[in-house]
Amino acid sequence: MKVNAQGKVTEVSVVTAEGVGLKLRDRAIAAGYLSLFFPDKQRESKPLVWRRELSFAPD
């Protein structure tokens, strides 16, 4: 996810999706756009890039 200075998510991408992740891909992207971040003026020159990993493998 890329986040701008106002704290809004401006881009969401999925790097790898396998198994059930393929079925949840569209929902994961939509959820990414709903994520909230606090405003930060330091992001005006360089947006925050936030990476997240989810695993649905059994324990």
Low-confidence residues in the chain, pLDDT < 70: none
Over pLDDT 70: what percentage of the chain? Answer: 100
Q: What pLDDT score does 7 carry?
A: 95
Which H/E stretch holds residue 26? helix 20-34
pTM: 0.76
Torsion of CA 19, 23, 24, 29, to 10 degrees: 110
Q: What pLDDT score does 35 carry?
A: 93
